Structure 1
Amino acid sequence: MQPILIVQGGAGDITDSRVPGKLTGIKESLRVGIKILENGGSSLDAVEEAVRSMELDENFNTGYGACLNTDGVVEVEASIMDGKSLKSGCVTLLQDIMHPISVARKVMEKTNHTFIGGESAMNFARTQKFEVLPQGSLVTENAKIALEEFKERQRKGLDTFFSRTELDKKQESVGELGETVGAVAIDANGNIAVATSTGGMTGKIPGRIGDTPILGCGTYADNEIGGVSTTGHGETIMRFNLAQRILQRISYKEENAQKATEDVTMEMTKRLVGTGGAITIDKKGDVGVYFTSKRMAWGYIKGNQLVYGINQGETFTEDL
């Protein structure tokens, strides 16, 4: 099997000024992850390292640069899944942890559990020797500005959490809604793995949990079908079970990764209004990319080509 790595850097109303940083970060993430696959490494190692690269980059909404809740605090969450064993690890409500994706992997490998959250997840991270940074170390100026913009909308009486008609306006105003990062890979042995990590949404209520750490919503991997990582409006993705539905289309309707990703993502937005996107690799090695948001940063390396984009209908190709 030819190794393939695909990554996404978040879907939403990404402003023009943030496009260059997003694309640079996507390419760096791909370089980090594909090197592992080219050297015979596992898909699991590749997706973890690709996501770790984005967790260090303030252009993405996870790790350093993650969104702030209404208290001005970063709460991050992540999940990782191995398509061979169907083992997975999920974490939520971590604070001051740079790499939630690596904590999620430790949950998968070092416990008999799948999902740990809150203070228990923090205690677990400490026992696994993860560095807990000084409080507020992950907060960036851009995140502070986005939170203030959100609070200003609230002061004007625009409750955008539950209003279907205001959902897109929130995306335009804040520019940080649902910008998750993720990676999907298939290695030389045909093993598929998926990793997804996020800071959630600007102005979320403290303790809010999104789709990212929930299997079948933000992340799923199964060697017999494929792997999916999603991004976008978390409440919408959770209600629609986006990742699992894409894999169901591949399995039961025998659609390829691209068609299944398109059909299901469009159906989600048509029924529930909220926007989002997904990246997919099926067991044959076909790639799928689609989003209903204004923009989604994405890219993949297959063979000697790097393919990437961020705007609707836009694709760039570079020879490696």
Structure 2
Amino acid sequence: MIDLKMKAVLVVHGGAWAIPEELSKASVEGVQSAARQGFSVLKSGGCALDAVEVAVRAMEDNTAFDAGHGSVLNTDGEVELDALIMDGRTLASGAVSSVKNIANPVSLARAVMEKTDHVMLTGRGANLFAERVGVHTVPTETLVTEYERKEWEKPKKYMTGVKELFNSQWAHDTVGAVAVDCSGNVACATSTGGIRNKMVGRVGDSPVIGSGGYADNHSGAVSCTGHGESILKVTLARLILFHVEQGKEVSQAVEVSLRYMDERVQGGGGAIAVTPSGKWAINFTTERMAWAAVENDVLWYGLDPSDKFQEELQ
């Protein structure tokens, strides 16, 4: 069991975008389930790194989200997946981009971190590495829902207008998790199928250390979601932790950084963050973001900007 002298916390998000009503219930239930699964690792004394991997794998296995199963299609009708994972204790990190036929890219990213001297592998090289270390592959069609196939078959246009993109039901987005364990170690993980009808080979923020996520025991852990190109331009995850390091409360750091991204590059998105002391924050500038957090056996969750519900864990 966890050391009650330290507060273990896990926070997850299911992507910042205009989640339509037909997906809202599944999205909220999905983040709640992922948060419970990730927190169970912490409650049994497990480490933050294991907890975020378990939580993100749960969302990659859930077709309500754009990661693993449920991923969107690029212009050629293919699934190309990106993911990262980072250990705040050592700054060890691993990432993959544009990988195909991998149901759980977050676990492949962890294999890159633990079994290579590199931080990121991409495309064919990442898939060859997956074969070498025995990561299970699946046919593309098993990762694509009927809902996504119908959406993809509508008129295709890669929309570069951020406000139009993330405040329409055309977009779909990332999943992520952050955690602090009973030893005060933090970790983050982020995973995505990207933007529907993206160019072949397009890589957003999700696998890029410092943009889609960052974890450092000196400040905290962050996972980001939203318009990838905008997040990349401001290195959003690292920007949030910079503000924490400058003395801002974590909630203020997230708010200030999202506002800066909006003002500087007109970018919409969201972020979740946790500090080594167990303080956590969620914020987003899009229409909706499904999120959940667990601390002290209380589950918090929400979807719309004014939401913050809670329930006791059983």
Normalising by the residue count of structure 1, what TM-score does the alignment of the two structures yield? 0.94
CA contact (8 A) 2:166 2:226 kept: no
1:260-279 matches, within 5 Å, as: 260-279=253-272
Q: Distance in 1 between matches of 2:81 and 2:74?
A: 10
**Which of 298, 301, 311 is 1:318 aligned to?**
311
**Could you say which residue in structure 2 is the equivalent of 1:160?**
159
Q: How many residues align?
A: 308
1:37-52 matches, within 5 Å, as: 37-52=42-57
**Could you say which residue in structure 2 is the equivalent of 1:235?**
229
Q: Pairwise CA RMSD of aligned residues?
A: 1.2
Structure 2 stretches of 5 or more lacking a match? 1-5
Instruction: After TM superposition, give the deviation of residue 269 of structure 1 in Å.
Output: 1.1
Code of the aligned partner of 1:318: E
Code of the aligned partner of 2:195: M
Code of the aligned partner of 2:130: A
**Could you say which residue in structure 2 is the equivalent of 1:284?**
277
Q: Distance in 1 between matches of 2:140 and 2:308?
A: 40
Deviations 1:108-156 (A, max 9, x none): 00001101001000000011111111242211112112223351xx4xx
Instruction: After TM superposition, give the deviation of residue 174 of structure 1 in Å.
Output: 4.1
**Could you say which residue in structure 2 is the equivalent of 1:226?**
220
**Could you say which residue in structure 2 is the equivalent of 1:35?**
40
**Could you say which residue in structure 2 is the equivalent of 1:58?**
63
Instruction: After TM superposition, give the deviation of residue 305 of structure 1 in Å.
Output: 1.0
SS class of match (1:130): coil
SS class of match (2:303): strand
- After TM superposition, the structure 1 stretch with the greater mean CA deviation from structure 2, 131-140 or 296-305, is 131-140
Structure 1 stretches of 5 or more lacking a match? none
**Could you say which residue in structure 1 is the equivalent of 2:249?**
256
Identity across the alignment (%)? 42
Normalising by the residue count of structure 2, what TM-score does the alignment of the two structures yield? 0.95
Q: Which 4+ residue blocks in structure 1 deviate beyond 6 angstroms? A: none
Instruction: After TM superposition, give the deviation of residue 172 of structure 1 in Å.
Output: 4.4
Code of the aligned partner of 1:189: S
Are 1:216 and 2:221 an aligned pair? Answer: no
Deviations 1:245-282 (A, max 9, x none): 00000002x11111111111112112211200000001
CA contact (8 A) 1:256 1:282 kept: no
Deviations 1:292-316 (A, max 9, x none): 0000111100102111101012111
Q: Distance in 2 between matches of 1:184 and 1:273?
A: 26
SS class of match (1:37): helix
Q: Residues 135 and 290 of structure 1: is their aligned pair in 2 closer, same or farther, counting only changes over 3 Å?
A: closer
Code of the aligned partner of 1:112: D
Code of the aligned partner of 1:160: M
Deviations 1:190-235 (A, max 9, x none): 0001010000000100100110000110010000100000000001
Deviations 1:19-51 (A, max 9, x none): 100011011101111111000001000000000
1:1-320 matches, within 5 Å, as: 1-151=6-156, 154=157, 160-161=159-160, 164=161, 167-177=162-172, 179-252=173-246, 254-320=247-313
